[in-house]
Structure 1
Amino acid sequence: MVTIVLYPSPRMGHLISMVELGKLITQHHPSYSVIILTLIPSLINTGATVPYIRHISAAFPSITFHYLPDIPLDPLLFPSMEAIVLELIRRSNPNVINALRSISESSNIAAFIIDFFCTVAMSVARCFNLPVYYFFTSGSCCLALFLYTPTIHRTTTESFKDMNTLIHSPGLPPIPSSDMVGPMLDRTTTDYSVFLEICEGFPKSDGIIINTFDSLEPRVIKAITDGVCLPDQPTPPIYCVGPLLAAGGDDSHECLKWLDLQPTGSVVFLCFGSSGVFTSEQLKEIAKGLEASGHRFLWVVRSPPSKKKEDRFLPPPEPELDVVLPEGFLNRTKERGLVVKKWAPQVAVLGHKSVGGFVTHCGWNSVLEAVSFGVPMVGWPLYAEQRFVICFNILKF
């Protein structure tokens, strides 16, 4: 049996994207099996991962999950969620060795496809003489900048946070240096060094698979394939396979029934991803704006972040809407608005005829979903690469 082994980052958005890649592989190669190495750290588990995996396993028997052991870490020792994820993956290398050894005993592993967070596993795959491909879960605009980052590093001496200038990268418009991803803002940190190693790992792969498509990012895809983002070495083959979108989710969710009652294109949808949170003050200001706008809205609200340092990486509890929103807001807007706690089936919502606009954090999955359904976006980038995703992929429209 021919097997493709996938290794995603443990973050939910990355796992879902990797599963969608697995579906695509089995769709085009029904005789192949897909095994996904799955790390579910107790430290960052939202509780949604296990039910999701259970659903995929039942619906797609050609995709199986090989669980890697949990690795306990003290979150107080790490400056960011990215640092935690990278350390978890680094410490998981011995478990990845055991997993590949076990899988290879009964299957012919044709390829090992890794998330860019899993770059440290490339050396493990080489021990088994496996071809290694990246699956880049963001867009090619982000990939182009990452490919060019080692060149920027060699030709500058300041940290991005101190440059106060525009970064010029092939295929991209000028990007404010302060919009670089958080872990790379300070070149004196360990996070920066690790991300630089990741950027240097891309050219060493056998190819890079990207969740995008040519007509969305033609200029930057051409820059990558022409080799100008890697001026000193060959660019590996690039495969654009997007848009890979997850299924619509729970069709019985209350918000979909509410949307059925609204006029076509009349509802503004506000949703900021699984990690997007706002302070109490910000939530109240958003509420005031929605109330004053007079427009219909569907708003997914999450609890404000905890002020306790030990809770900063834990998923927030279910919000108490009467506490986090202005007094009387729900009652005053009940005829034209719906507030949903924590989660909504975003793909199904964006595909609904009543939705005419999307206020988003600019996560790449959200951008692809909105583009696919033709829903106009208003960007409110919050973290990761979202600032230059909005600069390049939203404002150009």
Structure 2
Amino acid sequence: MKDTIVLYPALCSGHLMSMVELGKLIVTQHPSFSITILILTPPNKNTSNKDITLSPQEHYIASISATFLSFNFHYISPISSPTTLLTYFITFEISPQRNHHVDNILQSISKTTNLKAVILDFFTYSAYQIAKKLEISTYFYYTSGAVGLATFLHLPILHQNAKKRIQDPHMPLRIPGLFVPNGTTLTILSIGPLITSSYGGDGNGCLRWLDLQPSKSVVLLSFGSMGRFSKAQLKEIALGLEKSEQRFLWIVRSELDSEELNLEDLSLEGFLERTEENEMVIRNWAPQGAILSHDSIGGFVNHCGLNSVLEAVYEGVPMVAWPLYVEQRLNKVILVEEMKMTLELNKSKDGFVSGIELGDRIKELMDSYKGNESRQMIFKTKICSKEARDQNGLTEENEKDTGEIDNDGYS
């Protein structure tokens, strides 16, 4: 029977794309392997009526399936939820509720293939008990950087050394999916960095638009699949972009999935007309990797998610950091204070960024001595990152560590 490895990413697109790159790395090392990826379906998604219009994620999956014949995607049925809005809390909650489906899927796969291992996203950790019951070797894949992982793994020690007691002694401290039980020391394999390949073409015309712009003249703004802002914040972003007087490509998402975003509703009458010669605004999705590799891109305002950071570093694009969630704030500290290749936004206590502040930072990035220093630092890192990888996209270290997946995992 054919050897199979199952990958189980979290619901967010960035986690899926990172795990797809991991799967590609595995089949590079083990060409005889097949990869099955379990896809969590968003809450309340209607799967009975097949809309002919595919979502960006469905386009991406279709492109991968057509390109890599050893990849299979298995959709897990959706759950009922009070909201369709994807948040980190909901991301944690969905996985445990789908465990019985995962159990059935793994048993079905085991009947037709030799199931070598299951690789779980940190957000889908609850499926570990299923893999353990079925005696399948299990690995955990952390899609963010080493600094975030080190911090999370250190939390049990901080808890152990804490001198103050929690006010409610009956509150459960063991939260499913957050910690490896019993303090077992895990072997950590250095697999990355994994740079996401671009798929899906140029359906919105952004690459053609970039072809018409001068070299290093355009600022990209993109905040990941969960990077949504209030209407008030979107208005300030628009004001800041206009104030910066720079060319820009803005990938903007609605505050709610169900909303159709209209920038003119933000009391910005004439914004698109006033900036039309120097801007392109894209709703919801664009081929970020291909955009960052384009010669016209000269700066990148982003949320400090690892995929975005890796793509920017690999292409030598300096950044303005606007972290939104959890470990993204740690990534910002490394990029701004340690590596000095990124500028930092000043926020209010509630995280709000004024249009004046955003405009000033974009100007500073694109046209100042400090911005040029950041550009030089990231260009040096770009050269190092490309030299560290061979023609197959493998460093010597991750080539060795990826090979370890063929051995016993955590079981």
Structures share fold, TM-score greater than 0.5: yes
Distance (whole Å) between structure 1 residues aligned to residue 314 and residue 169 of structure 2: 37
- Amino acid of the structure 1 residue aligned with 2:233: Q
Distance (whole Å) between structure 2 residues aligned to residue 187 and residue 248 of structure 1: 51
Cα 1:156/1:69, change in 2 over 3 Å: same
Q: Secondary structure at the match of 2:112?
A: coil
8 A Cα contact 1:44 1:315, kept in partner: no
Cα 1:332/1:87, change in 2 over 3 Å: closer
For 1:1-397, list aligned pairs within 5 A.
1-43=2-44, 47-75=55-83, 81-156=87-162, 193-194=174-175, 198-201=178-181, 204=184, 234-303=185-254, 305=255, 315-324=257-266, 326-397=268-339
- Unpaired runs of 5+ residues, structure 2, are 47-53, 340-411
After TM superposition, the score normalised by the length of structure 2 is 0.73
Higher relative contact order (CA 8 A, sep 6+): 2
Q: Report the alpha carbon displacement of residue 322 of structure 1 after superposing the two structures with TM.
A: 1.7
After TM superposition, the score normalised by the length of structure 1 is 0.76
Q: Secondary structure at the match of 1:105?
A: helix
Aligned to 1:217: none
8 A Cα contact 1:203 1:235, kept in partner: no
8 A Cα contact 2:43 2:81, kept in partner: no
Cα 1:187/1:356, change in 2 over 3 Å: farther
Distance (whole Å) between structure 1 residues aligned to residue 317 and residue 31 of structure 2: 34
8 A Cα contact 1:96 1:121, kept in partner: yes
8 A Cα contact 1:203 1:236, kept in partner: no
Distance (whole Å) between structure 2 residues aligned to residue 291 and residue 298 of structure 1: 12
Structure 1 segments (4+ residues) deviating >6 Å: 186-190
8 A Cα contact 2:44 2:78, kept in partner: no
- Amino acid of the structure 1 residue aligned with 2:221: L
Cα 1:41/1:189, change in 2 over 3 Å: farther
Q: Report the alpha carbon displacement of residue 238 of structure 1 after superposing the two structures with TM.
A: 2.0
Distance (whole Å) between structure 1 residues aligned to residue 170 and residue 317 of structure 2: 41
- Unpaired runs of 5+ residues, structure 1, are 163-185, 205-233, 306-313
- Amino acid of the structure 2 residue aligned with 1:286: I
Higher mean displacement: 86-95 or 130-139: 86-95
RMSD over aligned CA atoms reads 2.9
Distance (whole Å) between structure 1 residues aligned to residue 171 and residue 274 of structure 2: 49
Distance (whole Å) between structure 2 residues aligned to residue 202 and residue 335 of structure 1: 60
Distance (whole Å) between structure 2 residues aligned to residue 49 and residue 187 of structure 1: 43
- Amino acid of the structure 2 residue aligned with 1:58: A
Distance (whole Å) between structure 1 residues aligned to residue 264 and residue 69 of structure 2: 44
Distance (whole Å) between structure 2 residues aligned to residue 43 and residue 123 of structure 1: 26
Distance (whole Å) between structure 1 residues aligned to residue 160 and residue 153 of structure 2: 13
Cα 1:292/1:73, change in 2 over 3 Å: closer
Distance (whole Å) between structure 1 residues aligned to residue 122 and residue 181 of structure 2: 9
Distance (whole Å) between structure 2 residues aligned to residue 202 and residue 387 of structure 1: 29
Distance (whole Å) between structure 2 residues aligned to residue 159 and residue 82 of structure 1: 27
